[in-house]
Amino acid sequence: MKKECIAMLLAGGQGSRLHALTDRAAKPIIPFGGKYRIIDFPLSNCANSGIDVVGVLTQYQPLRLNSYIGSGLPWDLDVQNGGAYILPPYQIAGENGKWFSGTANAIYQNIPFIEMWDPEYVVILSGDHIYKMDYADMLAQHKAHAADCTIAVLRVPLEDASRFGIMETDGDGYVHKFVEKPQEPKSDLASMGIYIFTWEKLRQYLVADEADPNSEKDFGKNIIPKMLANRERLWAYPFSGYWRDVGTIDSLWEANMDMLSPDVIDLYDRTWPIRSRSPVRPPHYIGRDAEITHSIITEGCDIRGSVSNSVLSSSVTVGEGARIDYSILMPGCTVGPGAVVQYAIIGEGATIGANAAVGAPPNGKTNILITTCGPGSAVANGGVIPAGTMLYAERRDG
């Protein structure tokens, strides 16, 4: 059962900054970039990096996440000795169950899972990042620098640095200071929230942190600062590719728009496939009077209207004369004839009635206001949803 390196994926809590989109499903399975869901990126990165044990920690609406991951087959993770494992909170003998109280606590509670694999290294990942990264290369650097912890860092413009956790490194590249959202950043190296730990070391810190009543049980706030304070060896692994956190409506929209620029992130590269689970649907059909420009369209779609600068997941229907601009249409949603959808995110299975108007382009110099229709929501024929609205589906009783 021994594995040199396994991955633990923090699939997170509700992701409440995504509002209606995560009202009924966990953030990692939000549809993304047409064919994908967010979690496809870390899962595919693991498989492509040769990591075949991935623990997925979750306590929020795990049902669909569980069904989505299944045996791990779509990512080639359904191996005999390994695989993708959903790890919910649980009860142990003689104790009450505990919910995960922080990222570090979530890992702490799953020490028995980790030790099943007797790993030397553990990769800690997030379920809300879009990027392609070779963790094997990061691990090689971790080993080469005899690090206790290696943190992937991205160079950001100094003026943006105060929005990130910033690593200050010495001349050799070892981290000597970590500041969360510094007022006056002294470095442009932002933490990407991706860690490799030498397991024996991490285990010590998790046990100590769990016993600390003042700790928030968080990697960024507690574990890393404590390791720095104790002068452990922390290496900053420089990453230069595309990376986005998609934890908010705006960042989710922006990252989807980024997918329309294949030079920014190449999803067509067959040497590093991002894989997903998707139902078999017929090819998409582009109608006689349709117009498609600069867009992503997925199988099962039926497009009769015009679509530009937009990302359409599978089985989206766009009626005749409808217009979709700068929008994200998630699986199975329907836009009626003559409707106009602009700068919007339309959740799974939502219905936009005929001649409805959802969202609006940015007005002159004001910021872009993204309009969101939650999964299963409905806009009546001729309805108007003003820019910036957050529309929830009506709740069923029960």
Partner 1 sequence: MPDLHGIIYAYHSSSALGELVFHRTSASLPFCSRYRLIDFALSSMANAGVHDVGVIMQRDYQSLLDHLGSGKDWDMSRLTGGLTLLPPFGQHDSRIGEYRGCMEALAAERSYIADIKQSSLILYRGDVALNLDLRAAYEAHLASGCEVTAICTDHPFNGGGERIRFVPDSDKTANRMLFPGAENGRALCSSEIYIIRKSLLLELIDWCRSNARLHFHRDALAHYLESGAKLGYYIHRGYISRICSAEDYYRANMDMLDYKNRADLFPTERPVYTRVRSSVSTYYGEESSAENSLVADGCFIEGSVENCVLCRGVRVKKDAVLKNCVLMQDTVIGEGARLQYVVADKYTVFSDGVVLSGSSGLPLIVPKGKSV
| Positions that interact with a copy of itself (CB under 8 A) | 13-14, 16, 22-24, 58-63, 66-67, 70-71, 73, 78, 83, 85-93, 96-97, 99, 111-113, 116, 203, 207, 398
343 near 326, Cβ under 8 Å? yes
Q: What does the per-residue mask of binding to partner 1 show for 52-91, with x meaning CB under 8 A?
A: ----------------------x-x--xxx----------
Residue 91 contact, options a copy of itself, partner 1, none, Cβ 5-8 Å cut-off depending on partner type = a copy of itself
**Backbone region of residue 26 per phi and psi (left: phi > 0; alpha: psi in -120 to 50; beta: other values):** beta
State how beta strands 165-169 and 175-180 pair: antiparallel
The identity of residue 127, as a single letter, is G
* 320 binds partner 1 per the rule CB under 8 A: no
Residue 90 contact, options partner 1, a copy of itself, none, Cβ 5-8 Å cut-off depending on partner type = a copy of itself
Q: Which of 250, 299, 320, 325 binds partner 1 (CB under 8 A)?
A: 299
Size of the site for partner 1 (CB under 8 A): 40
174 near 128, Cβ under 8 Å? no
Q: How far is the CB of 286 from partner 1 (least distance, A)?
A: 4
DSSP H or E run through 346: strand 344-346
* 333 binds partner 1 per the rule CB under 8 A: no
Residue 150 or residue 306: which is nearer to partner 1 going by CB? 306
* 364 CB burial (10 A radius; 0-12, 13-18, 19+): exposed
Q: How far is the CB of 90 from a copy of itself (least distance, A)?
A: 5
Residue 121 sits at the vertex; the CA angle it makes with 188 and 207, to the nearest 5 degrees, is 90
Q: How far is the CB of 113 from a copy of itself (least distance, A)?
A: 6
The identity of residue 304, as a single letter, is R
Rounded to whole angstroms, the Cα distance separating 81 from 46 reads 15
* 35 binds partner 1 per the rule CB under 8 A: yes
Q: Which of 48, 49, 215, 276 binds partner 1 (CB under 8 A)?
A: 276
Rounded to whole angstroms, the Cα distance separating 5 from 1 reads 12
Q: Identify which range of 96-104, 212-220, 247-255, 267-275 contacts partner 1 by CB under 8 A.
A: 267-275
* Dihedral angle sign, alpha carbons of residues 92, 95, 99, 100: negative
Dihedral through CA 107, CA 128, CA 178, CA 105, nearest 10? Answer: -20
Rounded to whole angstroms, the Cα distance separating 136 from 141 reads 9
Residue 389 contact, options partner 1, a copy of itself, none, Cβ 5-8 Å cut-off depending on partner type = none
Residue 96 contact, options partner 1, a copy of itself, none, Cβ 5-8 Å cut-off depending on partner type = a copy of itself
Beta bridge pairs of residue 341: 324, 358
Q: Identify which range of 161-169, 189-197, 198-206, 285-293 contacts partner 1 by CB under 8 A.
A: 285-293
Which residues in this chain contact partner 1 in the complex, by CB under 8 A? 33-35, 74, 76, 79-81, 260, 262, 267-268, 273-278, 280, 282-299, 311-313
